[in-house]
């Protein structure tokens, strides 16, 4: 098993060092762990939830390389990133990804809107009337994030349900278009188990979206979105069942941005 979505103290809302996450992954018997801290952004954008560019190059990147080497006989450490999708910053994000030798890049929508006019999806409340529109906007952003072809994995692809699950014809259409784009762009969806630690008590995406993911044969991968070392692989005792049901027991792994698929029995086939 792999855990491709982990953070550290550097994002300022997490705890622990890269090494502690890797040690926890070894203890939990994982084959691979991916280090995917929130990406640095320019203009001090949302600096309170991420490291600076300087910290990335002086602390995080060397820490990941260091543990990859130090523990290579016990676990494979992948160099990942949780990148933003935010119109207006595409060029900067593309250059940052190009400059670094990632094994995979997760594309996540944490903000709606565009540069200079963003609506955050954290630490805010929206009025009841705004929530349907937010769902539609969110899935439209997910659709665009798949088409921009910067990302290998779409992160927590129904995160918007944190504001309350809503269903309407417009939301369902926007969600379906987003999933079709993910399929067409040949990117992967993560089963993010962090929702089991939150009031939603549901993975991202939940069963309703996983059914559509399965229908479209979108490849899956796994992540805990751990923000503390003890959260590595959290919920994995239940995740195998979801992989069996919605991914035919297969999950994707990445090396230098090349995807291959493994089955839960660990036989490997190239995609």
> What residues make contact with Zn ion under the rule CB under 5 A?
108
Residue with the shortest CB distance to Zn ion: 108
CB of residue 153 vs Zn ion: minimum separation in angstroms? 11
CB of residue 126 vs Zn ion: minimum separation in angstroms? 18
Peptide bond before 205: cis, by omega within 30 degrees of 0? yes
Q: What are phi and psi of 224, to 5 degrees?
A: -95, -15
CB of residue 234 vs Zn ion: minimum separation in angstroms? 14
* Integer CA distances (angstroms), 176 to 100, 139, 179, 209, 219, in order: 33, 9, 5, 9, 16
Q: Which residue's CB is nearer to Zn ion, number 111 or number 236? A: 111
CB of residue 249 vs Zn ion: minimum separation in angstroms? 26
Q: Which residue's CB is nearer to Zn ion, number 37 or number 261? A: 37
| DSSP string computed for 32-101 | EEEE-PBPP-STTTTGGGS--HHHIIIIIHHHHHHHHHHTTTT-EEEE--EEE--TT-HHHHHHHHHHS-
Q: Which residue's CB is nearer to Zn ion, number 223 or number 247? A: 223
Inter-residue contact 35 to 78 (CB < 8 Å) = yes
Q: Which residue's CB is nearer to Zn ion, number 83 or number 262? A: 83
Q: Which residue's CB is nearer to Zn ion, number 108 or number 150? A: 108
CB of residue 265 vs Zn ion: minimum separation in angstroms? 30
């Amino acid at each position: 098993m792999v855990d491709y979505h982990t953070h550290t103290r550097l994002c300022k809302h997490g705890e622990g060092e890269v090494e502690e996450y890797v040690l926890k992954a070894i203890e939990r018997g994982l084959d691979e762990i991916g280090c995917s801290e929130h990406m640095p952004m320019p203009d001090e954008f949302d600096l309170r939830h991420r490291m600076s560019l300087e910290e990335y190059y002086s602390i995080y990147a060397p820490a990941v390389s260091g543990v990859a080497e130090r523990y290579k006989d016990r676990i494979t450490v992948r160099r990942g990133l949780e990148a933003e999708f935010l119109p207006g910053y595409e060029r900067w994000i593309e250059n940052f990804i190009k400059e670094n030798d990632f094994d995979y890049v997760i594309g996540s929508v944490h903000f709606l809107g565009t540069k200079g006019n963003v609506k955050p999806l954290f630490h805010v409340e929206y009025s009841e009337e705004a929530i349907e529109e937010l769902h539609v906007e969110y899935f439209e952003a997910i659709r665009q994030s798949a088409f921009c072809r910067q990302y290998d994995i779409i992160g927590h692809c129904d995160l918007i349900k944190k504001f309350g699950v809503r269903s309407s014809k417009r939301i369902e259409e926007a969600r379906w278009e987003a999933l079709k784009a993910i399929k067409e762009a040949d990117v992967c969806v993560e089963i993010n188990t962090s929702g089991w630690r939150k009031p939603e008590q549901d993975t991202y995406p939940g069963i309703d979206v996983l059914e559509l993911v399965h229908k479209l044969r979108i490849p899956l991968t796994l992540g805990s979105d751990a923000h503390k070392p003890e959260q590595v692989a959290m919920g994995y005792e239940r995740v195998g069942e979801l992989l069996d049901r919605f991914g035919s027991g297969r999950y994707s792994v990445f090396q230098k941005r090349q995807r291959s698929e493994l089955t839960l029995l660990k036989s490997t086939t190239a995609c």
